[in-house]
Amino acid sequence: MTDRPTPLDAIVIGAGIAGIYMLHKLRDEVGLTVRAFDKAGGIGGTWYWNRYPGAAADVDSVVYRYSFDKEMLQEWQWKTRYATQPEILDYLEAVVDRHDLRRDIQLNTAIESLAFDEASNLWTARTGGGAEFTARYVVSALGPLSSANYPDIEGRDSFAGRITHTGAWPADLDITGKRVGVVGTGSTGTQFICAAAKTAAQLTVFQRSAQYVVPSGDGPLSDARLAEVRENYDQIWEQVFDSRVGCGFEESQTPAMSVTEAERERVFEQAWAAGNGFHFMFGTFADLAFDPAANEAAASFIRSKIRQIVRDPETARKLSPTDYYAKRPICNSGYYETYNRDNVTLVSTKENPIARITPAGVVTEDGTEHELDVLVFATGFDAMEGSYHQLDIRGRGGVTLEEHWGDTPSSYLGIALHEFPNLFMVFGPGSVFCNLPPGLETQIEWIAETVGTAEQRGIARIEATAAAEEEWTGMCRAMAEHSLFAQTDSWIFGSNIPGRKPRTLFYFGGIGAYRQRLREITAAGYEGFHLDDRPSLTAVRHTSTGN
């Protein structure tokens, strides 16, 4: 016999950047009884799990953070242009302590199922350990990049050395002096490669697709720069929240082909020297992601840099991408230079695929056995939707989320789902493509305001209409079709997962337009939502029943 479920007003699933702030808003501003759950042994989400060498944000630290705590904006001392994983985790721990959130965070607890009861309007959440909790609201802050894509290569389990995915880096794994292999060259893989080459005895990179990587321009954050930022934080956030990608720079309005070739070279050269991937893609010219000619201008500029930097022409050739420059932009310190080191070897698995993994290492189709002590999979994630596939979520009438989505995930605003009342996603499929912290804050503040309104007005259920969900999802698809991103395989369209047909996982209209849409929806009395103020049949409100 199980114990009676523990009653809460709201459940937050996840204690990463999103879950932490959601807990704060719902508990301290809306006044609900809230508990956040996380399967990890600590807070931090992505920044708890991704402890691989080189892990860091690649958006400027001064805007890769919360904007809400004005005092902390003045007090927190970032050390470098980009915050490293340990620094970000320290920062999130400090936020949790400062706002006394720890007492309402339950760690080491995976929520495995959620079921909505129509009679009581309550969600029941069940943990892996079999404990049950009920709540009127559930916010899933599962993390858009938390479900690992771990390729099932023949012989993987036979490897005699240490084997890991970057997203679950073991605390005791030290690669110093080891022979290390890495599969994957996305933003994670390239960060790992730059760091690992400096400490590993030998690093073998198994590259499937060559990547466009620009310099990050990382370095110490001077006191003068920090002082300037602190002085101008209000304007900085205003610009971030009114921009497209929310990374803290002015996006270009100039089409690349509207200027001379010499001017294009000058702009690219300047951006290359200043560093930052998002800036190179969105701050140089307005249309790199849309116009094939503009895209090719940027792509050929980067390819020419690869040829200049990489001494071995054959390695330079393998490192040079030939597809569009239209994946999530990547930047790093000295990525291409790393291939000039004697201890780094590049294997193009497009030309020479991995045949199998053996106890000793990786065998490629040419018959070479690459002997390794450590094998690292930097192979990314089942993005946006992956964490939802791991949960059993049942809405009205017992419909499962898997049934609701079928083979293509959908949502209204990346936040809400028809048939799943009072369930809010933070960064569900259909969320805005931008720097995550301001994107998360945008959704969290809207959810908290919406829940607050529902509480005040005695609304028992708030649920997206089927039409609104269909229209939003269709609009995201139509918008994405104009972009060259849609013609390139990557996690942004789910096409990194074997056998999955590409789908649109983001709203590409920019954070400014997204926020404007949220404001309009609220002003129109929650347009696209069905608000039900009929009292529930059992009228369960544990705060008023006192038990």
Establish if 487 lies at the interface with ligand NA7 (CB under 6 A).
no
Nearest to ligand NA7 of 3, 157 (CB atom): 157
Chosen residue from 199, 349, 352, 522 binding ligand NA7 by CB under 6 A: 349
Spatial neighbors of 406 by CB under 8 A, at least 6 apart, are none
Establish if 379 lies at the interface with ligand NA7 (CB under 6 A).
yes
How far is residue 89's CA from residue 166's CA, in Å, rounded to a whole number?
16
Establish if 275 lies at the interface with ligand NA7 (CB under 6 A).
no
Binding mask 322-341 for ligand NA7 (x = CB under 6 A): ------x-------------
Chosen residue from 19, 496, 506, 508 binding ligand NA7 by CB under 6 A: 496
Chosen residue from 209, 216, 276, 320 binding ligand NA7 by CB under 6 A: 209
Question: Per residue in 197-220, is it b (16+ CB within 10 Å) or e — as a string?
Answer: beebebbbbbbbbbbbbbbbbbee
Reading the block at residue 268, the tokens are 């690219």
Which burial class, exposed, middle or buried, applies to 410 when counting CB atoms under 10 A from its CB (0-12, 13-18, 19+)? buried
How many residues touch ligand NA7 (CB under 6 A)? 20
Establish if 378 lies at the interface with ligand NA7 (CB under 6 A).
yes
Which DSSP helix (H) or strand (E) runs through 194? helix 187-199
Q: Minimum CB separation from ligand NA7 for residue 196, in Å? A: 14
Nearest to ligand NA7 of 124, 387 (CB atom): 387
Phi, psi of 377 (to 5 degrees): -100, 110
Chosen residue from 241, 491, 493, 508 binding ligand NA7 by CB under 6 A: 491
Nearest to ligand NA7 of 59, 448 (CB atom): 59
Span of 129-137, 155-163, 187-195, 445-453 interacting with ligand NA7 by CB under 6 A: 187-195
Count of residues making up the chain: 547
Q: Which amino acid is at 501?
A: K
Chosen residue from 19, 380, 395, 430 binding ligand NA7 by CB under 6 A: 380
Nearest to ligand NA7 of 433, 529 (CB atom): 433
In the complex, residue closest to ligand NA7 by CB: 186
Establish if 181 lies at the interface with ligand NA7 (CB under 6 A).
no
Q: 141 in helix, strand or coil?
A: coil
Establish if 7 lies at the interface with ligand NA7 (CB under 6 A).
no
> In which region does residue 374 sit, left (phi positive, over 0), alpha (psi from -120 to 50) or beta (all else)?
beta
Nearest to ligand NA7 of 202, 209 (CB atom): 209
Distances (CA, A) of 275 to 330, 364, 466: 10, 35, 44
Q: Minimum CB separation from ligand NA7 for residue 149, in Å? A: 6
Nearest to ligand NA7 of 277, 421 (CB atom): 277
Q: 228 in helix, strand or coil?
A: helix
Chosen residue from 151, 255, 452, 509 binding ligand NA7 by CB under 6 A: 151
Establish if 187 lies at the interface with ligand NA7 (CB under 6 A).
yes
Establish if 43 lies at the interface with ligand NA7 (CB under 6 A).
no
Binding mask 88-127 for ligand NA7 (x = CB under 6 A): ----------------------------------------
Nearest to ligand NA7 of 170, 220 (CB atom): 170
Number of CB atoms found within 10 A of residue 423's CB: 24
Establish if 512 lies at the interface with ligand NA7 (CB under 6 A).
no
Q: Which of 220, 175, 241 is nearest to 515 (CA)?
A: 241
Q: 120 in helix, strand or coil?
A: coil
How far is residue 6's CA from residue 104's CA, in Å, rounded to a whole number?
13
Nearest to ligand NA7 of 189, 334 (CB atom): 189
Nearest to ligand NA7 of 185, 422 (CB atom): 185
Q: DSSP letter at 483?
A: S
Number of CB atoms found within 10 A of residue 484's CB: 19
Q: DSSP letter at 249?
A: S
Nearest to ligand NA7 of 184, 246 (CB atom): 184
Establish if 51 lies at the interface with ligand NA7 (CB under 6 A).
no
Nearest to ligand NA7 of 248, 395 (CB atom): 248
Spatial neighbors of 467 by CB under 8 A, at least 6 apart, are 528
Establish if 146 lies at the interface with ligand NA7 (CB under 6 A).
no
Reading the block at residue 427, the tokens are 């960064």
Establish if 301 lies at the interface with ligand NA7 (CB under 6 A).
no
Establish if 431 lies at the interface with ligand NA7 (CB under 6 A).
no
Q: 32 in helix, strand or coil?
A: coil
How far is residue 56's CA from residue 34's CA, in Å, rounded to a whole number?
31
How far is residue 540's CA from residue 383's CA, in Å, rounded to a whole number?
36
Binding site for ligand NA7 (CB under 6 A): 145, 149, 151, 183-189, 208-209, 328, 349, 378-381, 491, 496
